[in-house]
A and B are shown apart, each in its own frame.
Chain A
Amino acid sequence: MTDRAMQEPTLLLLTALADEPRHGYAIAREVEAISSGRVKLRTGTLYGALERLLQQGLIEVHSEEVVDSRLRRTYTLTSPGRTALAVEAERIAATAREATRRLGAGKAATA
């Protein structure tokens, strides 16, 4: 199958888990920070995405603990999740490199 570009919420979610495991609300806060406030994942949307990424095998449960008599789970990337994120990061970087190259060529042409 040919590679497809990742949906932005998925990209941001995986990025939020790339450096360390996090629990639900912490993931939402990281997504908001990474997107400079542009993307706000509300609770329902967040857990809809988390359930999907768990099903797709891109993330997994890292740890479970009981906090205030409630179960709290942290999530982390799986190996396929890291690979998918790396592929998407390279795709975006390649586009940015090409844009930079063309801008430089255009500047030289008009100089």
Chain B
Amino acid sequence: MNPVLLHLYPAGFRRAFGDEIADSYREATAGAGPRARLREAADVAAHALRLRLGIGSVHAGGRLLAAAAPFGLAATAGYAAFNLVGSVSDWYVIRSAGVAADAGTLATLMNAGYLLTLIGAVVALAGRHVPGVLCAIVGTVVSSVSFLYPIWRMPPDLTSALVGFLLMPVLIAALPLACPPDLRPSRRVRGAAGVFALVAWAALLVVALSVIDPLGIGLLTPWRFGVPMIAALALVGRRAFAEIRTTAQLAFAGAPFIATMHFSGWVRTEEVVTVVGALAVTAVALRIRRRSDSDRINPA
């Protein structure tokens, strides 16, 4: 094993496990090709980095990120679906009015980015974590850059606000990468056919939301945002909710949604306080429920 690789680890961990890791690495890479060796080296480097940052699975920070990861994916899926529904809905209305609609190259690229983000988030929630998250990150970068490109020559103060607006989806999409690999959510869908079906359902949901008249129920933005968000949370599954056991985990899990809602323009800054308040109430209710569960099982 390259000594440089081993020295990436903190000194204490290296003293405790260094010999074993070197042995295990040697056995794992014996006779292996360059790709396999690179993957092993990358895994060791990533683990060493997590330990140095205090976000390994042994750290409270790592467990916080593990609890928040599925909800970051759900917020990313909701964000992408929200924007896609808006685009498809606008196109549908314009076409229904008999006007030829040409989105233009950048708008098409932006929507392609949203679609890629949605697919990536759904694939990751289905259990193909790394490929899905990477796809979602690429999608958010594509949509953000294509949105930012035409407005780059605007006044600097407006540009900087918009850069923050566009950077947030990328950061939220990337959040699940920080989850320790041994704490990643289990595969919920077996087989490529199942994942494909899930992606197809997500696309159908976007189309259905777009063509159903939102004005008919008078809840335009909540309809476009709320329905995809609820669908994404259903995909997250009960198990992810069961992992939320502390106030800190609840805050971490809720943060991607608050950030996404704010930067999508659905919740104004002052309304964020209300949302945070709702989270605090949920945290208290969660604590009371956990305490009563504990008392019921251990009455002594």
Type the 1/0 row for A7-39, where 1 means its CB is closer than 8 Å to any CB of B: 111100000000000011100100000000000
Tell me if B278 is interfacial: C-beta within 8 Å of chain A.
no
Q: Check A2–B293 contact: CB distance below 8 A.
A: yes
Q: Check B290–A1 contact: CB distance below 8 A.
A: yes
Q: Check A1–B57 contact: CB distance below 8 A.
A: no
Tell me if A107 is interfacial: C-beta within 8 Å of chain B.
no
Tell me if B215 is interfacial: C-beta within 8 Å of chain A.
no
Q: Check A47–B24 contact: CB distance below 8 A.
A: yes
Q: Check B20–A55 contact: CB distance below 8 A.
A: no
B6 vs chain A, min Cβ distance (A):
11
A73 vs chain B, min Cβ distance (A):
6
Q: Which residues of A contact B279 (CB under 8 A)?
A: none
Closest to B20 in A: A24
Q: Check B43–A45 contact: CB distance below 8 A.
A: yes
Q: Check B58–A72 contact: CB distance below 8 A.
A: no
Knowing A7-B186, A24-B20 are in contact, say whether A48-B40 is a contact too (CB < 8 A): no
Tell me if B47 is interfacial: C-beta within 8 Å of chain A.
yes
Tell me if A46 is interfacial: C-beta within 8 Å of chain B.
yes
Q: Check B181–A71 contact: CB distance below 8 A.
A: no
Q: Check A49–B22 contact: CB distance below 8 A.
A: no
Tell me if A43 is interfacial: C-beta within 8 Å of chain B.
yes
Q: Check A48–B182 contact: CB distance below 8 A.
A: yes
Q: Which residues of B contact A71 (CB under 8 A)?
A: 19-20
Q: Check B43–A44 contact: CB distance below 8 A.
A: yes
**What number of A residues sit within 8 Å (CB to CB) of B?**
30
Q: Check B28–A25 contact: CB distance below 8 A.
A: yes
B266 vs chain A, min Cβ distance (A):
33
Tell me if B97 is interfacial: C-beta within 8 Å of chain A.
no
In the complex, A17→B125 CA distance in Å? 29
Q: Which residues of A contact B239 (CB under 8 A)?
A: 4-5
Q: Which residues of B contact A52 (CB under 8 A)?
A: 56-58, 182
Q: Which residues of A contact B300 (CB under 8 A)?
A: none
A44 partner, pick from B19, B22, B45, B293, beta carbons under 8 A: B45
Q: Which residues of A contact B187 (CB under 8 A)?
A: 8
B29-70 CB contacts (< 8 Å) to partner A: 39-40, 43-48, 50-51, 56-58
Q: Check B182–A9 contact: CB distance below 8 A.
A: yes
Tell me if B17 is interfacial: C-beta within 8 Å of chain A.
yes
Q: Check B297–A1 contact: CB distance below 8 A.
A: yes
Q: Check A72–B23 contact: CB distance below 8 A.
A: yes
Tell me if B228 is interfacial: C-beta within 8 Å of chain A.
no
B47 partner, pick from A7, A45, A70, beta carbons under 8 A: A45
Q: Which residues of A contact B25 (CB under 8 A)?
A: 43
Tell me if B157 is interfacial: C-beta within 8 Å of chain A.
no
In the complex, A5→B242 CA distance in Å? 9
Q: Which residues of A contact B102 (CB under 8 A)?
A: none
Knowing A7-B186, A8-B186, A55-B58 are in contact, say whether A48-B47 is a contact too (CB < 8 A): yes
Tell me if A90 is interfacial: C-beta within 8 Å of chain B.
no
B284 vs chain A, min Cβ distance (A):
18
11 contacts between A and B (CB under 8 A): A5-B239, A9-B183, A42-B44, A43-B28, A46-B24, A47-B21, A48-B57, A49-B57, A52-B182, A70-B20, A70-B23
Give me the 7 closest cross-chain CB pairs, A-B, nearest first: A44-B47, A42-B43, A49-B182, A44-B43, A70-B19, A24-B24, A25-B27
